[in-house]
Structure 1
Amino acid sequence: MNVLVLGGYGLIGDAVVGRLLRDGHHVCGLGRDVGDAQRRRPAVCWIAADMSLLLAAEDWLPVVAGMDAVVNAAGALQDGPRDRLDAVHWRSVLALVAACEQAGIRRFVQISAVGADPSSKNPFFSTKAEGDRAVASSSLEWTILRPGLVIAPAAYGGTALLRALAAFPGFVPAVMSRQPIQTVSVVDVTEAVSRAVAGSLPPRLVVDLVEANARPLADVLSAFRAWLGLSPAKVVPMPTILGRLAGAVADGLGMLGWRSPLRSAALAALGRGVTGNAAPWNEISGHPLQPLEATLADTPAHVQERWFARLWLLKPVILACLSMFWLVSGIIGLIRQEEAADILVSHGVPGNFADMSVLAGSAADILVGAAAVVRPFARRALQAMIAITLFYLAAATLLVPELWLAPLGPLVKTIPTLCLVLVALAVLDER
């Protein structure tokens, strides 16, 4: 079959694409930024498109032409500069369903979420439910799958946060540590999608995909810590106010393009618990979905997982430190412009040129420091930090080489900073 997978390079979408390829299907994947996906999965036909802009059936007809089935694995956590929940979860799905009906597509698989409810005050769950309603109201052979907390070999978003918290040194911090969680292996999710695409599930099915028993978030974190091979540590409940503060900060970072799993929508979802009804799927399949222990045992952790878990929480710290270092450096240069210019003048640089150089250098420092915390500009800002640092080192070596031997080591200390920029570049990718 020819199958279109929306969100085909996401946590669930990528696993679905891999499973459908192994099943022998011809797969097309759709997403906003497909460059990396094209390199990783060249066997897939990739379509670069923003679902939030495809709001009429006519917009979708060229995309779904020739397809036999559609799997919607796309989604967003919270409204932001790049994400509009109403458009992605509902309005675009409504248009897509209409296009599928017009194009004669047989099957539609909607990957939703446990807790999807049109009356929910959380826009994530309410818009997901509206999308589910659009699918369920269609004439297609549809299946709506609602997974719990999906555990996969890949990790970003909430699953990356779990790993990072589990690897916290000394203890494991957790907000709402007693909230119930039901997980599901991404392998089990892809099995359900495979069966739905093949038509081997009951028609017009809405079903939760969760392990049989719920467990507290604290137990999930402890299981992840053991999986990482780290020594046991106590899970320490954090005050709810601390979680709300972190959510407010993450919401602000979301406006700068960072997609933190700590945003207020995620905390609200955790507040209600991540639970569903395992019984319907167990009856259909004849066996329960595997529990968290079996999911983790199927993908044993190695040193790369420990590196990732430990670096994940350090990433924002690194970026914040670099941003502050460059901002403060630039501001000090402006405040003490005359002193900085005098140093250049004392080494034969003309006065006007020295003043202009100090102003230009301070402005450049402030610019890259501010740009480093804006996600679309972060990579170029970090690269600019490297270029500026190397220029400073070269200029200082030519004009004031004795600074290399100065007691406080002003030039020597730039080398570790340069290395920190390289680390920031190495961990900048989010998925």
Structure 2
Amino acid sequence: MKVLVTGASGLIGDALCARLTGEEHEVVRVLHRPGTGVHPDIPTISLDMARALRPEDWTPYLAGVDAVVNCAGVLQDSARENTRHVHSTGASALFIACEQADVNKVIHFSAIGVDRQQPSAFSISKLAGDEALMARSLDWVILRPSVVLGRPAFGASALFRGLAALPLLPVMPDTGRLQVVQLDDVISTVLFFLEPGSPSRLTLDLAGPEALSMREVVGCYRRWFGWSSAQEFILPNWTAATLYRLGDAAAQLGWRPPMRTNAAKEITRGAVGDPQPWMRVTAIQPSSLTAALCLNPATVQERWFAGLYFVKPALFVVLPLFWILTGIISLTAGWRSGVDLLIGTAAGALAEPAVVAGALADMVVGAFIAWRPTSRLGLFGAIAVTLFYAIAGSILRPDLWYEPLGPLLKIFPILVLHFAALAILEER
């Protein structure tokens, strides 16, 4: 079959493309921005579902397609994401285009529980997308998975690993239970419904066999890593609310943290459902989290990732603040000291303009690192500026290498931190 997969760089979409290709299906990936994903041999379309809001936006890409699997989804509205457009308006346009192009088979990913409660814009828009598909004359299947976990680390799968690496486990208040479902079981379900003659026009909850608390999920990962149980403490409500708001602020800068206010609303409801209809229709026996982890022992790279998970946000808070505050201090309280450093050197006549230029460069670098679309450029800029300071300082003030506080010696750890940030920048 020729299968078009939207949201192809996400956890489910990426794994599905790999599995379909391995089973000799022809796959067309739809990505919301170019350059994402790791399958250079699979045809790729760069099309943002939040902007493809008319059926004619999709029509050119449906020629010869036998089935569409819609895996596109976003957690929360932000500067770069729109839940209504992705889950409802854009999805509806795709479904209409499928009907017009005689692409009858459509498998659509929703979320568990959206038919029962809609506590946030995420679940409201997901339900609207489901209803838009149900209204079409297509062989549709709506899959509503619980929290999907798998070997790839992204979203909740990454968060649980990161939490498992903490020696003290902060427990969020008011969290519901989770029937986590394995990625392999989800992908096998899609393949079942792509088979000729498979049932259609049905909605299924994809839920694991056991309902776990968040701390129990994290405990499973700690045992998988070979670590003993962590000490737990429940975060006060105000602390948890602050962390969710900080996640919202990071999203406005283009980052995609899993901890945001929509996540707080959704996780209070929990992610539970009845897996029996899914099991009866497909004959799939969903794996428990413990069983799935036992099949894939943790490796050193898994432990590295878990240990670095919360180091990454710390880096991308500290580095922008470091550069921006350095620039501000150079123009205010540190102005006289900065000028005095250059007085008496070959650049003495340009001391004041040089301090201003350096301060502005520092602030620009910091802003670029903080804004996700330009963070990579900002990190390279920071490395370039740091090397320039090292060379200029060695020429103009070589004594700074051996002063008691070693101001130029600090360049080496600064460079290493920026290279480390570059190494862990990629999100998917």
TM-score (norm 2): 0.96
Alignment RMSD (CA, Å): 1.6
- Say if 1:281 and 1:288, in contact at 8 Å, map to a contact too: no
How many Å apart are 1:174 and its aligned residue?
1.8
Please say if 1:18 is aligned against 2:18. yes
Residues 394-409 of structure 1: pairs in structure 2 closer than 5 A: 394-409=391-406
Please say if 1:429 is aligned against 2:394. no
Residues 272-351 of structure 1: pairs in structure 2 closer than 5 A: 272-335=269-332, 336-351=334-349
Code of the aligned partner of 1:72? N
Structure 1: segments with no counterpart, 5+ residues: none
Tell me the equivalent position of 1:44: 42
Deviates more, 1:301-310 or 1:117-126: 117-126
Q: Are the structure 2 counterparts of residues 348 and 281 from structure 1 closer, same or farther at C-alpha, using a change threshold of 3 Å?
A: closer
Tell me the equivalent position of 1:7: 7
Tell me the equivalent position of 1:188: 185
Code of the aligned partner of 2:120? N
Tell me the equivalent position of 1:158: 156
- Say if 2:175 and 2:267, in contact at 8 Å, map to a contact too: no
Distance across 1 between alignment mates of 2:175 and 2:337: 58
Tell me the equivalent position of 1:32: 32
Tell me the equivalent position of 1:253: 250
How many Å apart are 1:184 and its aligned residue?
0.8
Distance across 1 between alignment mates of 2:286 and 2:337: 69
Please say if 1:143 is aligned against 2:141. yes
How many Å apart are 1:369 and its aligned residue?
1.8
How many Å apart are 1:76 and its aligned residue?
0.4
Deviation string for 1:127-149 (max 9, x for gaps)? 11111111111111111111111
Code of the aligned partner of 2:77? D
Deviation string for 1:383-402 (max 9, x for gaps)? 11111111111011111111
Q: Are the structure 2 counterparts of residues 119 and 272 from structure 1 closer, same or farther at C-alpha, using a change threshold of 3 Å?
A: closer
How many Å apart are 1:226 and its aligned residue?
1.0
How many Å apart are 1:58 and its aligned residue?
1.3
Structure 2: segments with no counterpart, 5+ residues: none
Residues 99-118 of structure 1: pairs in structure 2 closer than 5 A: 99-117=97-115
Distance across 1 between alignment mates of 2:157 and 2:174: 15
Deviates more, 1:48-57 or 1:293-302: 293-302
The count of aligned residue pairs is 427
Distance across 1 between alignment mates of 2:287 and 2:312: 33
How many Å apart are 1:225 and its aligned residue?
0.9
How many Å apart are 1:337 and its aligned residue?
2.3
Distance across 2 between alignment mates of 1:348 and 1:241: 55
Distance across 2 between alignment mates of 1:242 and 1:268: 15
- Runs of 4+ aligned residues of structure 1 deviating over 6 Å after TM superposition are none
Distance across 1 between alignment mates of 2:112 and 2:211: 13
Residue identity (%): 39
Distance across 1 between alignment mates of 2:405 and 2:104: 72
- Say if 1:118 and 1:130, in contact at 8 Å, map to a contact too: no
Q: Are the structure 2 counterparts of residues 36 and 89 from structure 1 closer, same or farther at C-alpha, using a change threshold of 3 Å?
A: closer
Distance across 2 between alignment mates of 1:34 and 1:147: 27
Query: Aligned with 2:45: secondary structure?
Result: strand
Query: Aligned with 2:204: secondary structure?
Result: strand
Of the three residues 234, 238, 255, the one matched with 2:231 is: 234
How many Å apart are 1:377 and its aligned residue?
1.7
Deviation string for 1:30-71 (max 9, x for gaps)? 01224243xx32331100111111111111110111100000
TM-score (norm 1): 0.95
- Say if 1:323 and 1:372, in contact at 8 Å, map to a contact too: yes
- Say if 1:4 and 1:28, in contact at 8 Å, map to a contact too: yes
